[in-house]
Amino acid sequence: MPLRYEAGEVITAMVTPFNSKREIDYNKTESLAKYLASNGSDAILVAGTTGEGPTLTFDEELEITSTVKRAVAGHTKIIMNAGSNCTETAVRTAKNAEKEEVDAILSVVPYYNKPSQEGMYEHFAAVAKATNLPIIIYNIPSRTGVNILPKTVAKLANEFSNIVAIKQSCPDMDSITELKLECPEDFSIYSGDDSLTLPMMSLGARGVISVASHLYGKEIKSMIRNYKTGEYYAAVNMHKKLYPVFKSLFLVPNPIPVKAALERKGLIDGYLRLPLKELDDSKKAELFSILDQFDAD
């Protein structure tokens, strides 16, 4: 059965490059987007958590989106973050994303408010009614404080055809099975944690919304393709090889490590906006040692 929406297998949640003044470096934004498009990314997610979205102004989000669209036009799909713990804000952002003519939006489960399942349903229903864009629900209980349940996701997916997928960022494998049982067959599941990609795919996930694909997009794509073509040992071996990398990129909260790694590759400057701070020397040494070991193998 054709998917409700085809976003690809590897979606990179792109970092936002800043200069020493903590202003957005649009030249490096453009060059990074082109690099990702050439190195395994089927789609690029702009201004999400990895992109330090909570520190960006709305005008900055739109300008980043426009910059990435110009950089990869016709080659890579663009997904814009349009989530908020304020339903009115999420609705307004979704409408503006549609004006930007992006391919889809990602909308996070409302954070901090701790809504009920019914509140989550009403929130996403309002967003779905406000736009014709495909919507990917983002479930990350460790950051939001709440967990949208498979039955709630299924209710939304069954009632709104533009709710097309979920990014699932929690290690509960039973929830993946429940999503597959409850949701329409054309609804997609994406791993939101690189290290859970292969386990989730064994239960029917489509692919990953990735951080590590900034560095190893082709290898992640190879792992996914090998699994889908029945080369299971090759897929597992790549997963095992990548696993230390996946974990090293979360030595401290994302996107601090991946920005340090990208700076080392000369792709961006590693600046972050407060309240995030750059990686200290000891953590850098630990991270770079793991990345060097991967590259040496």
What DSSP assignment string belongs to 150-203? HHHHHHHHHH-TTEEEEEE-S--HHHHHHHHHHS-TT-EEEESSGGGHHHHHTT
**C-alpha distances out from residue 121 to 84, 89, 117, 142, Å:** 14, 16, 6, 20
Catalytic-role residue among 28, 167, 221, 259: 167
Q: Residue 199: what residue type?
A: P
Q: Is the peptide bond before 255 cis (omega within 30 degrees of 0)?
A: yes
| Active-site annotation holds for 190 | no
Burial class (CB in 10 A: 0-12, 13-18, 19+), 76: buried
d(CA 127, CA 87): 8
> For residues 5 and 188, is the Cβ–Cβ distance under 8 A?
yes
| Active-site annotation holds for 112 | no
Catalytic-role residue among 5, 121, 138, 190: 138
Q: Catalytic amino acids?
A: 138, 167
